[in-house]
């Protein structure tokens, strides 16, 4: 996500006052954007965790939210760019909380998977949540073991929580918040430099 920020008149006036000191304006911009990137990460994690019904800690541990500040010339950017990235592939159910088998399904955190069961695949470090597919058929495909074509497949599907829709909603709400926050931070940084320059 790339933001095109339009600065209000108050910031424009402060920047004009610093026209003869472009390095100071650049310093203020860098500091404001660093603070903005931390704000963006906190806000994105909080909003997405609330939407998905999981903890921020889980989202962070899975590396689903990353915010990076690109300097001019980095990855082809002309000026500073703030990139907010959300990994929007479905979240496997076993990451949403300690899986607990019940008579009618599996509970993971706040989520319940009706008709599901716990099973630990051979190469998995912990049990995962599966459910039988409703309309399942064998597929004619090549065996990885023998290399022959045969009818094969399992009538199971791993349960996961969709994320794409909520990720889009979070990013749409984030853009105006970031613009407002950047305006405030930039004004604070320029005011700080202004006061610093005249207190010497």
17 and 63 assigned to the same domain: yes
**Residue 73 domain-assigned?**
yes
Total domains, the chain: 2
**Residue 3 domain-assigned?**
no
19 and 84 assigned to the same domain: yes
67 and 16 assigned to the same domain: yes
43 and 115 assigned to the same domain: no
83 and 138 assigned to the same domain: no
Query: Beta strands 105-108 and 99-101: pairing type?
Result: antiparallel
- The boundaries of the domain holding residue 105 are 93-160
84 and 43 assigned to the same domain: yes
In the prediction, which pLDDT does 134 show? 78
**Residue 176 domain-assigned?**
yes
15 and 55 assigned to the same domain: yes
**Residue 14 domain-assigned?**
yes
86 and 168 assigned to the same domain: yes
In the prediction, which pLDDT does 19 show? 59
In the prediction, which pLDDT does 20 show? 56
In the prediction, which pLDDT does 7 show? 47
**Residue 139 domain-assigned?**
yes
What count of other Cβ atoms lies within 10 Å of the Cβ of residue 128? 22
Those residues of the chain that have pLDDT short of 70 are: 1-22, 76-77, 136, 152-153, 196-200
156 and 167 assigned to the same domain: no
In the prediction, which pLDDT does 3 show? 41
In the prediction, which pLDDT does 4 show? 45
In the prediction, which pLDDT does 2 show? 40
Phi and psi at residue 152, in whole multiples of 5°? -155, 175
119 and 143 assigned to the same domain: yes
29 and 110 assigned to the same domain: no
**Residue 120 domain-assigned?**
yes
**Residue 2 domain-assigned?**
no
Taking only the tens place, the pLDDT of each residue in 119-165 is 998 888 889 999 988 776 777 888 887 888 887 667 888 999 999 99
**Residue 4 domain-assigned?**
no
181 and 139 assigned to the same domain: no
């Amino acid at each position: 996500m790339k933001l095109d920020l339009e600065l209000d008149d108050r910031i424009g006036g402060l920047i004009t006052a610093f026209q003869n000191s472009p390095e100071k304006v650049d310093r203020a911009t860098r500091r404001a954007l660093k603070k903005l990137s931390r704000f963006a990460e906190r806000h994105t994690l909080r909003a997405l965790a609330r939407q998905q019904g999981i903890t921020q800690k889980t989202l962070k541990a899975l590396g689903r939210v990353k915010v990076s500040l690109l300097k001019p010339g980095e990855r082809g950017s002309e000026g500073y760019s703030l990139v907010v990235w959300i990994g929007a592939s479905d979240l496997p159910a076993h990451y949403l909380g300690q899986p607990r088998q019940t008579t009618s399904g599996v509970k993971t955190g706040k989520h319940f998977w009706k008709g599901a069961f716990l099973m630990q695949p051979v190469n998995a470090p912990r049990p995962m949540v599966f459910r039988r597919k409703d309309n399942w058929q064998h597929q004619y495909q090549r065996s990885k073991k023998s290399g022959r074509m045969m009818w094969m497949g399992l009538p199971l599907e791993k349960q996961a929580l969709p994320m794409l829709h909520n990720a889009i909603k979070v990013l749409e709400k984030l853009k105006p918040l970031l613009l407002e926050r950047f305006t405030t931070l930039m004004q604070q940084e320029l005011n700080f430099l202004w006061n610093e320059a005249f207190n010497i």
